[in-house]
Copies of this chain bind each other. A is one copy, B any other.
Amino acid sequence: MNPLDRMFAPQSVAIIGATESADKIGGKALRTLIQHGYAGNVHPVNPSHAEIAGIRCYASIGEVPGPVDLAIISVPAQRVPGVLQACADAGVKGAVILSSGFNEAGTQGKALQQQLQDICQRTGIRVSGPNAEGFYNIGANLAATFNSAIDIGKGDLNAPSQIGIVSQSGGLGFAFFNKGRRDDLVFSHIFSVGNQVDLELADYTAWLLEQERTRVVMLYAESFNHPSRFLAVARRAADLRKPLVMVKVGNSDAGRRAAQSHTGALASPSSVVDAALAQHGVVRADDQDMLLNLAAAFAHQPLPRGNRVGMVCVSGGTATWLADACSAAGLEVPELDAERRAQIAKHIPDFGASNNPVDVTAQASDGFTVALDVVGGAPNIDAVILGVNFAGERRLLKEGPAIAEWMRRVGKPVLVYSYALPGDKSREILRELGLHVFTSLQGCVRSLRALVDYADFQRTRAERQAPARTPDDMPRAARGLLDAPRKVLCEYEAKALLAAYGVPLPDEVLARTAEEAVAHAQRLGFPVALKIQSPQIAHKTEARGVQLDLANADAVRAAFRAVTAGAAAHDAQAEIHGVLVQKMARPGRELIAGIINNSAYGPMVMVGLGGIYTEVLDDTAIAPAPLTHATARDMLQRLRGYRLLTGVRGEAPRDVDAVADLLVRLSHLAWDAREVLAEFDVNPVFVHAAGAGVTVVDALAVKVN
């Protein structure tokens, strides 16, 4: 049994700070608990009353008879630490603290929250909040909240596929529930996490994932206290095939400013957060309505085998619009074969359309149900959208049962979109049939796209799962290089690190004198490049430390003098390790790659279209280390300019395998050296024709302080 079960599904509840007045939070919470039908023991605690709402009231938690599983605390902030300690002393399993006045309220509040944290750590009592709006375990009739948005009704508690809510904003979390209930979605729980002094987003989510009827968890998050804990929960969700659908805010400067003043937390860069969440298939939304649409789709639909959509519509306009929206969302709208078209054509008026998207018209008699079977059975269709008008109940009465029955046996996702809002009578029929209807066209289409993406995520998860690496996996040579007592490793050292990880590198040598440089150049073959090597000179070109296209020995001699003079002029104190002599690289498509090491989210690998275009177009992809080849290839495919690698205008395709291999090896370095490396840039990389590999032209490593 999960230790939180007693707290979230308690046998007995104490309300500390309960009052008669429904205007006060303590009074409101008591009434809410009772009105929502909680069947366990309820104990008001308030020294000024002997009885509240007809229930015996106790002066302190210590006086309450029998074990108490959950205390709901609503007393002024400064009294909360004392009350919480008393709860712990009385053996209460968990407390939800509705009171405000903690981390969100200046220095004094912060001190009070610290006291709560100390009590939790000392006594082991679990705390939800403070500054929370509480929670609602719907199946248990337990409403530990004062938010009245739950008064809208529960729905069918036996529904096999329910939605859980975890929200860092109480107002929003309960609003999601309220809005979802108006569309007859069925929820299992709502948790408002408040200031997360003890239990945090990850804990609620983890608990919800183990509840049988909770099939989807909806999340609103501003920041994660412990990203790695949340990511572990996200991994567990993926294991259980229970999608997390999430709004994550605080991505813009203004948003971070607001989130910080709201939660005091500094958000990580959104590209890093996005990559970390994507790794575990977390589904993202940017709007409350889209969040609800996504949750509904995942709660009610099987996963599709592919992205090919069939449509059966009662109006040509809706068919056209849906087809456009599907195409724009990257879904395919294949044509039906001639036989299937003929089958449909027999049952619809001649002004309908028998090809996909099918328009049976508003006048078809049995055309609609025939088209369902034909389209649903087509082997080139992975999912079906029905474009209907359920404003009136006439057609719904006629076709609804057939649709519901067909949906159960077709084994493919079937999303129903009604372009007109269902009337009250229609709603009732839909409820009886257990039929969810989308009323937003884009909500419907984007939800289907999310189903396709999530199915793809699950299908390819195994090949994206990199084998765990141990400290022994770090090559000895790499360890030596990383131990160097310097913050910056210059090009020849950074390249040696790559070489230790098996990245093929051009033959290049560090020269200490001009004559050494000439000798190396003669061995390598002209033309060559010379580059100054100094840990103090990260940007060699700016220090006039690079000379390219040197065609003979004299040019190399002159260049050696020039780059050493340039370096000296740039920084007289710079420690010069020598001059790197390289054969001029074969030309190739330019890429950049690198390591981003975020302390909260761990090491990640970045790749982008190289050269000036990286800067202008910001066409980059990020994924957490270590990578597999499949993930590396995926990152490349996510680049807008990916076609530059596959061959444009009759060019030969480039060596995508070699790039993927470079990224995988870089990711091993990123992971193994995650406590040492702050940044690692491989810039530029020239990508040659397929089979001809890549040339790492330059590299730079910066260690953590």
The reply to whether the CB of A254 lies closer than 8 angstroms to some CB of chain B is yes
Q: Are A172 and B320 in contact (CB under 8 A)?
A: no
Q: Is A350 an interface residue (CB 8 A)?
A: yes
> Is A453 interfacial (CB 8 A cutoff)?
no
Q: Are the CB atoms of A105 and B349 closer together than 8 Å?
A: yes
The proximity string for A residues 187-207 relative to B, scoring 1 for CB distances below 8 Å and 0 otherwise, is: 000000000000000000000
Q: Which of B104, B320, B617, B649 contacts A258 (CB 8 A)?
A: B320
* A254 contact set on B, CB distance < 8 A: 323-324, 326-327, 333, 356-357
User: Is there an interface contact between B315 and A105, defined as CB atoms closer than 8 Å?
Assistant: no
- CB of A175 within 8 A of CB of B324, answer no
Complexed CA–CA distance, A148 and B391 (Å):
9
For A169, A351, A613, A648, the residue with the greatest tally of chain B CB atoms inside 10 Å of its CB is A351
Asked whether B615 lies within 8 Å of A359 as measured between CB atoms, the reply is no
Instruction: Tell me if A320 and B104 are in contact (CB < 8 A).
Output: no
Check A288 against B421 for contact (C-beta < 8 Å): no
Q: Does A414 count as interface, using CB distance less than 8 angstroms? A: no
The distance in angstroms between the C-alpha atoms of A359 and B106, with both chains bound, is 15
Task: Given A315-B169, A321-B255, A420-B149, verify A353-B391 contact (CB < 8 Å).
Answer: no
Most buried by B among A319, A352, A643: A319
Whether the pair A105, B351 counts as a contact (CB closer than 8 A) is yes
Number of copies: 2
Cβ A249 vs Cβ B317 within 8 A? yes
Chain B contacts of A325 at CB under 8 A? 286
| Complex Cα spacing A391 to B250, Å | 25
Stretch at the interface among A259-267, A424-432, A594-602, A677-685: A259-267
Whose C-beta in chain B lies nearest to the C-beta of A354?
A: B261
Answer whether residue A389 sits at the interface, using C-beta atoms and an 8 A cutoff. Answer: yes
Determine which of B351, B353, B391, B612 lies in contact with A175 in the assembled complex, contact meaning CB atoms within 8 Å.
Answer: B391
Question: Within the complex, what minimum Cβ distance (angstroms) separates A379 from chain B?
Answer: 18
Q: Which residues of B contact A249 (CB under 8 A)?
A: 317, 320-321, 324
With contacts A249-B320, A289-B440, A442-B287 taken as known, whether A421 is within 8 angstroms of B182 at the C-beta atoms is yes
Contacts of A324 on B, CB cut-off 8 Å? 249-252, 254-255, 286
A290-323 interface code vs B (CB 8 A; 1 in, 0 out): 1000000000000000000000001111111101
The answer, yes or no, to whether A392 is at the interface (CB within 8 Å) is yes
Contacts of A543 in B (CB 8 A): none
Task: Specify which of A220, A324, A643 lies most central, judged by the most chain B CB atoms within 10 Å of its CB.
Answer: A324
Complex interface: chain B residues within 8 A of A247 (CB): 321
In the complex, which of the residues B106, B175, B641 contacts A616, with contact meaning CB atoms closer than 8 Å?
Answer: B641
0 or 1 for each of A649-667: is its CB under 8 Å from B? (1 = yes): 1000000000000000000
- Cβ–Cβ < 8 Å partners of A222 in chain B: 317, 320
A255 to B311, CA, bound (A): 11
Question: Known: A178-B391, A258-B357, A353-B261. Is A440-B288 also a contact (CB below 8 A)?
Answer: yes
Closest chain-B Cβ to A594's Cβ sits at a distance in Å of 17
A695 close to B (CB within 8 Å): no
Of the candidates B220, B262, B356, the one whose C-beta lies within 8 Å of that of A353 is B262
As a 0/1 sequence over residues 347 to 389 of chain A, the CB contacts with chain B under 8 angstroms (1 = contact) are 0011111011101001100000000000000000000000001
* With A222-B317, A317-B249, A321-B247 as contacts: A258 and B353 at CB distance below 8 Å: yes
Docked-complex contact A351 and B421, CB < 8 angstroms: no
Tell me the minimal C-beta distance from A56 to chain B in angstroms.
32
Complex partner residue of A328 from B252, B359, B617, CB under 8 angstroms: B252
Chain B residues with Cβ below 8 Å from A421 are 175, 178-179, 182
Inter-chain contacts of A356 with B (CB < 8 A): 254
Q: Are B442 and A315 in contact, CB atoms less than 8 angstroms apart?
A: no
**Chain B residues near A178 (CB-CB < 8 A):** 391, 420-421
For residue A100, CB closer than 8 A to chain B, the reply is: yes
A320 touches B351 (CB 8 A): no
Select from chain B the residue with minimum beta-carbon distance to A259: B320
Q: How far is the CA of A149 from the CA of B389 in the complex (A)?
A: 11
Q: Which chain B residues border A362 with CB–CB below 8 Å?
A: 171
- The residue from B252, B286, B389 contacting A333, defined by CB atoms under 8 A apart: B252
List 6 A–B pairs whose Cβ atoms lie within 8 Å, in order of A's numbering. Answer: A105-B351, A106-B350, A252-B324, A255-B324, A258-B319, A617-B641
Closest 10 CB pairs of A and B: A169-B317, A262-B316, A252-B327, A254-B333, A255-B324, A104-B351, A254-B323, A261-B353, A175-B420, A258-B320
Q: Knowing that A106-B350, A255-B321 are A-B contacts, what are 13 other residue pairs whose CB atoms are under 8 Å apart, sorted by A's residue number?
A: A149-B420, A171-B314, A171-B318, A172-B321, A250-B324, A251-B324, A255-B323, A258-B319, A259-B320, A287-B441, A289-B442, A612-B644, A616-B648
